[in-house]
Amino acid sequence: MDRRSFLAAGVATVLASPRAIAQMKMDEMPGMDMGHAGHDMGAAPKSAAMLPEGQALRELPLLANEANAPRLFRANLTAEAAMVRFADGLDTPILGYNGMSPGPLIEVTEGDRVEIVFTNQIPEETSTIHWHGMPVPADQDGNPMDPVATGTERTYSFELPEGSAGSYWYHPHPHGKTAEQVYRGLAGAFVVKPKADPIPAEYGDTVLVFTDLRLAADGTMPDNTMVDLMNGRVGDHVLVNGQKNPALSVPFGTKRRFRFYNATNARFLRLSFDGAPMTIIGTDGGLLEAPVAANDVLLSPAERLELIVSFEKPGTVTLNTLDYDRGWMGAG
C-alpha cells in the first residue's frame, strides 16, 4: 500500500441535539473553550435521508478567467435555483452560483484587477455578492444597500492590492435574506495568491469548504425554526465541498497544503487529524509570520485557516470534528 487517505468525518451531533439547545450558557465565551477533552462523534442524521459517504473528494471547480489581459480577472457568476442530489434517490432544490454549491473557486493573484459580472436569477428575491474579508471599496462590496434585483445584473470591480493574499469567501448579503440564501447554497471560496508564494508548490493547495446541511425526508431543505432564529441554523450533516465524509488519497511521505473554510451558519468546527501532524500557516488575515503546530484547530462560522499537514506513514488518516460546546441560548 503506497497511498494514504484521509476521511473528513463525523458530525458533532451534540451540537444538533435538543439537550444541548436547551442549555443556557451565556457566560461561556464562544471560541474560548479549547480546554476540555474532545471526542469523536458519530453521525446521527435526524432525517431519513441518507447521504453517500466515502466518495473521492471533489475538487472545487475553478471559475474560469475570461479576460485575456495580464493582471485582469474577469468572469461571470449567476445566482440561480438548481437541483442537486445529496441523498440517494432524492433531488434537493438549492440555490447555487453557476448552478453549484459551494460556488466555483475563484483564484487570483494579489495586484490583480477583478471584474465579476453578477446576474441574479433567484426568483423574486434580491441578492448581492459580498466579498467577505476582502479589501474592496464600499460601493463594490455587495452590502444590503446595493441590492441586485431578480433578473438583472451588475459588475463588481475592484483591485486587490499587494499584500492582500489570503483565504476569503463570497456570499450574498441582501437585506433579511442573507442567512437563508447562504444555507440554501450560495457561498464560495475566493483565494488570493501571493506573487511569491513561500509555500512549496508541490504541497498543492486544496480548499475544503465545510457547510452544514439540513435535509427533510423528502430531500428538501426545511425553513428556519424559532430555535434557528435564536441560535443560528445548525444542520444534520457537515459537508466538505458538498460531500459527506469524502476521501482523499495522497502519497505518504508528503506534505499537503489545505485551506479550511467554515461556511456553516452557526457551527463551531473543532477539527483534528488523527495521526497526521498539522501546522497552521495562515488565518483570515493571510499567512502567519511564523507557523504554529496544532493538535486541533477551532473554526468559528465564516473563519478560515491555512494548514500544512504532514502525511508521514501509510494508512488512513481521519479528519474528525470534535465536540465543541459553543454555549446555546434557549428556553430550557
Which among 12-20, 72-80, 132-140, 195-203 is the span making contact with Cu ion, rule CB under 5 A? 132-140
Strand partners of residue 83: 93
Answer yes or no whether residue 132 interacts with Cu ion by CB under 5 A: yes
Minimum gap (Å) between residue 187 Cβ and Cu ion: 9
> 132 or 177: whose CB is closer to Cu ion?
132
Minimum gap (Å) between residue 130 Cβ and Cu ion: 5
Minimum gap (Å) between residue 236 Cβ and Cu ion: 24
CB 141 within 8 Å of CB 171:
no
> 132 or 257: whose CB is closer to Cu ion?
132
Q: Parallel, antiparallel, or unpaired: how do β-strands 3-9 and 130-132 relate?
A: unpaired
The three grid cell numbers given for residue 259, joined into one nine-digit string: 485551506
> 132 or 326: whose CB is closer to Cu ion?
132
Minimum gap (Å) between residue 169 Cβ and Cu ion: 7
> 132 or 244: whose CB is closer to Cu ion?
132
Binders in 29-88 for Cu ion, by CB under 5 A: none
Cα-to-chain-centroid distance, residue 110: 22
> 191 or 250: whose CB is closer to Cu ion?
191
Binders in 222-281 for Cu ion, by CB under 5 A: none
The DSSP 8-state label assigned to residue 229 in this structure reads H
> 263 or 281: whose CB is closer to Cu ion?
263
Number of residues this chain uses to bind Cu ion (CB under 5 A): 1
113-121: strand order across its sheet: 92-97, 72-84, 113-121, 153-159
Cα-to-chain-centroid distance, residue 142: 19
Which among 3-11, 124-132, 196-204, 233-241 is the span making contact with Cu ion, rule CB under 5 A? 124-132
Minimum gap (Å) between residue 181 Cβ and Cu ion: 12
Minimum gap (Å) between residue 235 Cβ and Cu ion: 19
Q: Which amino acid would we find at residue 192?
A: V
d(CA 77, CA 140): 15
CA atoms within 13 A on the CB side of 137: 8
Binding-site string for Cu ion from residue 180 to residue 219, where x marks contact by CB under 5 A and - marks none: ----------------------------------------
Q: In this structure, what is the dihedral angle of CA atoms 11, 16, 18, 22, given to the nearest 10 degrees? A: 120
> 129 or 309: whose CB is closer to Cu ion?
129
Sequence-distant (≥ 6) Cβ neighbours of residue 188 within 8 angstroms: 60, 97, 102, 103, 104, 105, 106, 169, 170, 171, 209
Residues that bind Cu ion (CB under 5 A): 132
